[in-house]
Structure formats: structure tokens, C-alpha cells
Structure 1
């Protein structure tokens, strides 16, 4: 992966490499041939990802964030299960090697997977040097990957019990409404109207599919031939309405184009990248799914993002955030709400 940052060390934060090596040798004898070094792979905002090497081979290790409290919010077995099930399907995922659900080895559950060579494109400045033609090809392949994911038969790959697709949209509206109530600290134009409209216009769900939950270009790896070679970060995956993935990807793109959206990944704004209507049309053609109710799904996606951003803002003003950029989250909440209302009324 080309987005690994930081100096390789024998003790990266949150990962006891000696204990990891001992566990690997016990569970998979002969895996390593020397002492391990590692570095944190930058980019994730939740689970921690490490590039680990014995000097001749590389692996990727995932664990929950440091100091997390709720194990259910960072379920390593869930990520491991879905990628293991999808390996060998039309959806590109890394090969998984080992799951450790006990916190006794490194202080938290973790899993080990293949390191796939590729680039994560998060920013327009990374994509633009490729030129419009290659950028268009990458964006088309991203949509194709999404359509491929949504054509996987969950039961056929052993994921028939991976979620509760019945009532998925209603539960999403309730869930994000409760999240809003938990972090609401100020008056927000449009928030109550958007919530009421979502609650009163929930459409019937489409045929259930495996939903990634955070599908976007910067959760993939792209190789030198501009192919999507891995879809990553499955912590939000479940069974549900597949248009949720499509809508969230489009919502991220729209917020990245807003004047206050400089903290949102903006690779999708590069010249050559498919526009929103082109993405929807291509997805519909490849998946065969009815996208006529995409407006509701966009409204829900913007509501979800608004609630997440408001939660970040609430933690920032409460002095409970560390790092840069959190001060800007609050400015995007009302634009997200306005975009959600516009989507529902179109």
C-alpha cells in the first residue's frame, strides 16, 4: 500500500509485535522468518491499520482504536468474516490469514490479512496527475465494483445471517435520529423537517444485498493499471438496501464540492471523474436495480453525514477531540441538511 506513513519500528502504538509474532508462530507455524517491524497506515478514522514485516514478507493487521470501550462498535470478527466470505468472488478483497478475538495477545482483538499493492486516492491533487481519461476509467471501475458487490448472493457466500434486511431503512432513520438527540447542542436549520420527512416517506426496500456501509474511492486500492484491486474498511458492512451505498458515495462527493468541505475527501471532484447522474445511470445499467427512489436514499445519506458531523462538532466544543480539522466539522452540518431536504423534494 502506498499510503503507509511513519517510521518503521519494533513497537508501533497499540501493537505488541513480539506478542504478535509469537501468536502467528503458534497459530500458523513457519509464517515469519525474523523479528517484526511495523508502521501505522494513515487514513483511517476508526480502526487502526498496520503494515507489518519480517524483512521479506508484509502483512496488514487491523485492531480497534486505542482506548475504545464498546467492543460491538469495532467488531474485528465482523470485518474478518465478510472479507473471508468474499475472497474469490467478483469483489476484490485481501486474503485473510488469522483472526484473534482475545484481547490477551496485543491488548485487543485483531486480524491479519494480505497486503495488497495499490494506491488509495483520497485527494483531487493525487488523481489529477493521471489525466482525465484515466480518472474517468477509475471512476467507472469504482461504480462497477459497487454493482458487483450488490450482485453477490449473501447466502451463497455464507453471509445469509449477516444482518436484518427487513426494516433496514426504518431502522436507519431511527438510529440516526437517536444519534442526533445524543449530540444536539444548538439550533440547526432544517434538521427537524428533514427528520420528519424521512420518517414519513420511507420507501419499500429493494432486494437485500451486502452493503459496505462506507463505499467511496478512498476505501479502495487502485493498481498501476487503474484497476480496483481491493475494497477495504468493512466495519459498517451489513445486509440491507444497496442504494444506501450508492447514495452515501454521492453525498460525500457533493459535500466535498461545498465551500466549507475542505476536510472531505475530494478525489471525486477531479476532472474526468463521472458526475452524479452518470454514476447513477452507470450503476443502474450494471446492477439492473431500480434507482427511481434515489432521492430518499440521498436524503438519508445527508442526514447521516449531518449527524456524524454534528457529533464531531459537539465533541469539539466539549473539548473531547484531539487533532486538526475537527473545528471545521460544524460548518458543514447545515449544508448537509439543506442538501438532504433538496434531495427529498426533487
Structure 2
């Protein structure tokens, strides 16, 4: 079987045989897991065991993005907490092996629900249960003591929001290849109205329904895609859920239509559940939602740029660019001038 794009299975087998002897018992086969828009994810098996491999995209890697060591560290640290994560296997930061850093984790069964149609097939009661479990798992994550799990130095909470606004503006500049009306105004509004953060927590950074796996009992079996995790303001994670629930984008571009499924709770219900279970004040959430839209716009603009450079793997990348202007507009709606 040929190698999937970006993953030399023979070199991977050699590395695993050296660093995890006895793990692999036969020839490896693998394929790209559909749905990813940033780091590449592969389903790999030897016919006996099954693993998932993560590596950065094939080109135009933005500074500080796609950090394999960061993903591996936080997933390993959360192994004995109430937050479900795939067991990690090995991290390789030697780019000579497959051409980029990568890590391997155990395969975890579950379904990543990406749109309203997939949820509708479950019925309204199951859909509602999944949405509330998404919120409850986020509360569990934000309740983890970073020091207790060895993540006391995982980020710099002081000045987190200011750095977030600056960072995403810088990343936009690195990928900007066209005029984006309103983008600069949204940045300026965010920068001049920074709220006061609550106590810091472990922040996922891209928390949404299709970044978790759901089992047949409507419980989350694993939280995935920790590439943007850090210590910071927990309300940024909640705001992303609001942004994905609020904004309808063209199907197949991003997981943004789940909130339209019968039984899916409205934004007010989701926010109220988080507030009640976490005890946090969410009165300034609109600003965070504006930041969430800005962040999503920057991420998708980066993917659009990679598509224009021929550096992407997967379907629907030709439509990514059209999702950016509505995200900017939504951000402006939430952050007053």
C-alpha cells in the first residue's frame, strides 16, 4: 500500500521499532483521516494494533503553530484526570524521520459529529445530551489544577488576552494575500476593550463538537486536537462553542451547523450550563465571542493561503476562503466600536 501524503510508513515503523520495541507486529498501512483542516492526522494499523499519527501540514507552517510537543505534553498530562484523552505512545521531534515532528497515540473509538444532519439522525434527546456533555467536559478541563498535572509552566496567563489579540493579528499578516474588509477594525476594537480575565485554566484553544469523539452512550470518549492549548482565560473556549453554534457557514467548510440540529440547546442554555457548573462570571462573553470569530477567520485565512499555494491535503479547501468575510462580520457584531 502506498504511503499517505506526508507520512513514510517504513520510516515510521523503523522509529517505533527503536523507541517502542514490540509495539508493531506487522507491516503498517495508513490513510489520512478526513475532516482535519490544520495538522494532518492519520489512521495507522499493522492488522493487530491501531494508532493515530499527527504531524504539521505540508507547507507554510506559521510561527508557534502546529507544535507537536505541545499536543503530546498536554494529552499525556491529562491522562489521569476526568478529561478523556487518547493514551499517548511516543513523540518524535526529529524531522529527519518523516520530514516533520510527529507523535503517535492510541486509537480511541468514537464519532466526531460535524454537522446538523449527522446529529439529526440521532434524534433530539441524544443530540441534547451530547451538547451538554460537550459543555460538562469543558468545565472538567477548566477545573484541572495545572500544577497538579505538571503543567504549571504550560503558558503565561498574565496578559493572555492581549497576547491573543496581538498573536492572531500577526498570524493574519503572515497569511494575508487579499483584501479583507473589516479585519483591521475588528482587531482594533478587540485591542481597545480587553476585559479582566478570571482565574487561569488549561485552555484547549479549539474546543468544538468535531474535536471530540462521542461514544454510543452520548458520552465523550476523547478530546482531540490540542495544538493551541495553553494556560489562559477559560472563557475563550466557551466563546468558541458560542461562535460555532451561532454562525451558519457553507456546508463542508467547517463544523458550524451542529447548532441547527433538532434538540441542540441554544446558546443561552449552553452558556448558562457552563456558568452554573463552573461558577464563572460570563457577563462579558460578547467580547470573547468577537475574539473567537477573529481567531477562526485568521485560521481559515491561513488554510486558504495554503490552498492557493498548493500545500493542502483533503477536500473542500477551494471553499475555505469564502468563510472568512462572514466570520469577520460576526466578530464586529459582538464587539462594540
**Shift in CA distance, 64/314, structure 1 to aligned 2, threshold 3 Å:** closer
- 2:2, 2:118 → 1: CA distance? 30
The corresponding residue for 2:254 is: 264
Between 303-312 and 15-24, the greater mean CA deviation after superposition: 303-312
User: In the alignment, which of 215, 225, 232 is matched to residue 240 of structure 1?
Assistant: 232
Between 210-219 and 175-184, the greater mean CA deviation after superposition: 175-184
Count how many residue pairs are aligned between Structure 1 and Structure 2: 334
Contact 2:59–2:306 (8 Å) recurs in 1:
no
Displacement of 1:54 in angstroms is 1.5
Give the TM-score of the pair, scaled to structure 1.
0.88
Displacement of 1:309 in angstroms is 4.1
Give the TM-score of the pair, scaled to structure 2.
0.91
Contact 1:212–1:245 (8 Å) recurs in 2:
yes
Between 65-74 and 118-127, the greater mean CA deviation after superposition: 65-74
User: In the alignment, which of 74, 81, 85 is matched to residue 89 of structure 1?
Assistant: 81
Structure 2 unaligned blocks of 5 or more:
none
- 1:305, 1:177 → 2: CA distance? 12
Displacement of 1:36 in angstroms is 1.6
Displacement of 1:333 in angstroms is 3.6
> 1:39 and 2:31 equivalent?
yes
Runs of 4+ with >6 A deviation: none
The corresponding residue for 2:215 is: 223
- 2:149, 2:178 → 1: CA distance? 44
**Shift in CA distance, 114/338, structure 1 to aligned 2, threshold 3 Å:** same
Between 214-223 and 15-24, the greater mean CA deviation after superposition: 15-24
Contact 2:84–2:223 (8 Å) recurs in 1:
yes
The corresponding residue for 1:3 is: none
> 1:179 and 2:171 equivalent?
yes
> 1:162 and 2:162 equivalent?
no
- 1:308, 1:61 → 2: CA distance? 22
The corresponding residue for 2:331 is: 340
Contact 2:154–2:231 (8 Å) recurs in 1:
yes
The corresponding residue for 2:296 is: 305
RMSD, matched Cα: 2.4
- 1:14, 1:249 → 2: CA distance? 31
**Shift in CA distance, 261/201, structure 1 to aligned 2, threshold 3 Å:** farther
Q: Deviations over 1:275-310 (max 9, x none)?
A: 111110001111111111101101111222233444
**Shift in CA distance, 201/132, structure 1 to aligned 2, threshold 3 Å:** same
**Shift in CA distance, 193/71, structure 1 to aligned 2, threshold 3 Å:** closer
The corresponding residue for 1:280 is: 271
Identify which of structures 1 and 2 has the higher relative contact order when contacts are C-alpha pairs closer than 8 Å and 6+ apart. 2
The corresponding residue for 2:109 is: 117
